[in-house]
Amino acid sequence: MRSQPAFAAPRPQRADWLPPSLVLAAMGFNLILCFLNGRFLPVSNLHVMAGEALILATALLAAYGTMRQEHLLLLSGTVVFALGLASLRVALGTEPSLNIKIVRDLAIPIVFFLVGLRVADIGRADRLVTLVAGLVLALALFEYFAVDVFTDYFNVARYYVARGTMDAQEALKAGDLFISGVRPAGAQGGRNLLPFLGDHRVSSVFLEPVSMGNFGLIVFTWGLVRSKFEGKLFLGVMGAGLACVVLSDSRFGAYFCLMSLVVVLLPAALARLAVALAPLAAIGVLLAVPYVVTGSYDPQHRYVDNGFVGRLVLSGQILAEFDWRNWLGLAPLPLSTFDSGYAYVLEGIGAVGVAAGWLVFQSLRGASTQFDTFRNVAAMYYAVLLSVSNSPFTIKTASLLWFLLGVLSRDPGRPKVPAPAPAPTPMLRTAKLRAARRLALR
């Protein structure tokens, strides 16, 4: 008999519309701000931070009914630990000002997991995935077939310049799209997935193609896990996920869809062991890759190419520059860690914090084997993607992933209904009647 999930809570009865609405808001508020920036008011990074803070605060209130003491301890302990390290870096003089971005990045998974606990109905989760996949694909096709009209309403480059994420020179190269919205000609032959579609990388609701690709693989893996445990193929959901991966030309998304199939088909014990050791293995590979590929390490030449191997080399080179203070989260590197998620999170909470967070992730228990499988796929997603990016922390995709994990944590899955007994044949009914008469005569 399976033990009760560690995060079980009484089923709430009110405001059922709120949890899925919060996921929709987290995914789409940047699109709304982009529209407002081009039409009504100038948007700054302050508006973005305020929008995220409002969504997170509302989600925290929505999750209040599912909170138990251990939830509050986990959330407050995470915030205090990350804030404490950030304050210590300022006190030691290794960082000029208090950087609390990592606090938000770590709070998003916990809060949206708790929001998912409030729902605990896998049917509603299925409907939400179908809804958001349809909305994202509809806007993606609009962007692809009418990009000039799309950018007239949603000038992505101007929005990210207003936010301070892109400079004007990058915006000129990108046109009206995000800086990575078009594959440069000659870079691995332009588009990697279905080259006949052209070099435009579709972003849809997310405004940048990386999140679009990550969203696609989340939707695909949801359909894959549901297909395994529901006994029927969720072809529409998986097809929508693959379409998002292809339209965004996400190389990682394509690789991971294949990897997720392996994780789902592995025996449960083996899959869990592989996932538990994945971050340690990934960091070891990253530290070795620069020497294997280049034969040496030259800090002056960090970029090898823009392919997947080149991104691994760059990430490994960033980690190779860590000293003991960086590994403990006591000092940041002077260079950007955007292309190395492991470097980013190690800077923020140190190796001790990363190990503790991964242990908590692996200790999550659900009401069914379906939760264990989806948790393993989600954990592998983080373990692999952090090798080349810190994108899994964005609220645009993390909100959906952790909401689904929360729903699965409490939903017991489809109960096994015994097969109905076959209807008695006329001959059998006659035999039963004769037997009953004989008993009555006695």
* Tens of each residue's pLDDT in the chain, 442 residues: 444 454 444 444 444 789 999 999 999 999 999 999 967 788 888 999 999 999 999 999 999 888 888 889 999 999 999 999 999 999 998 888 888 899 999 999 999 999 999 988 899 999 999 999 999 999 999 999 999 999 999 999 999 988 887 776 666 566 789 988 888 765 455 788 999 999 999 999 999 999 999 999 999 999 999 999 998 999 999 999 999 999 999 999 999 999 999 999 998 889 999 999 999 999 999 988 877 766 655 555 555 566 677 788 888 888 988 999 999 999 988 777 777 889 999 999 999 999 999 999 999 888 889 999 999 999 999 999 999 889 999 999 999 999 999 999 987 765 544 445 455 555 555 655 566 555 555 5
Tally Cβ neighbours within 10 Å of residue 119: 24
CA 94 to chain centre: 31
Backbone φ and ψ for 200, nearest 5 degrees, come out as -70, 125
Which tokens sit at 237? 């959901």
Are 410 and 404 in contact by the 8 Å Cβ rule? The answer is no
Tally Cβ neighbours within 10 Å of residue 146: 11
**Cα dist from 81 to 106, 110, 192, 355, whole Å:** 11, 15, 41, 13
CA 181 to chain centre: 20
The conformational region for residue 303 under phi > 0 = left, psi -120 to 50 = alpha, else beta, is beta
CA 399 to chain centre: 7
* Spatial CA neighbour of 29 closest among 390, 328, 281, 399: 399
Backbone φ and ψ for 438, nearest 5 degrees, come out as -60, -40
Are 282 and 384 in contact by the 8 Å Cβ rule? The answer is yes
CA 300 to chain centre: 33
For 171, residues 6+ apart whose C-beta sits below 8 A from its C-beta are 157, 158, 160, 161, 179
Which tokens sit at 396? 């645009």
Are 412 and 367 in contact by the 8 Å Cβ rule? The answer is yes
- Total count of residues recorded for the chain: 442
**Cα dist from 47 to 30, 344, 371, whole Å:** 10, 24, 36
CA distance 259 to 279: 15
For 151, residues 6+ apart whose C-beta sits below 8 A from its C-beta are 175, 176, 177
Any idea which residue has 């699965």 for tokens? 408
CA distance 238 to 223: 5
* Spatial CA neighbour of 184 closest among 309, 308, 306: 306
Q: Residue 296: its pLDDT value, please?
A: 55
Q: Is 313 helix (H, G, I), strand (E, B) or coil?
A: helix
Helices (H), 231-340: 235-247, 251-265, 268-294, 308-320, 324-327
Are 156 and 180 in contact by the 8 Å Cβ rule? The answer is no
CA distance 317 to 291: 9
- Cα angle, residue 397 at apex, residues 396 and 398 outer, rounded to 5°: 105
Query: Quick one: angle between helices 122-145 and 18-39, nearest 10?
Result: 20
Q: Which one-letter amino acid corresponds to residue 394?
A: T
Which residues make beta-bridge pairs with 182? 200
Are 390 and 349 in contact by the 8 Å Cβ rule? The answer is no
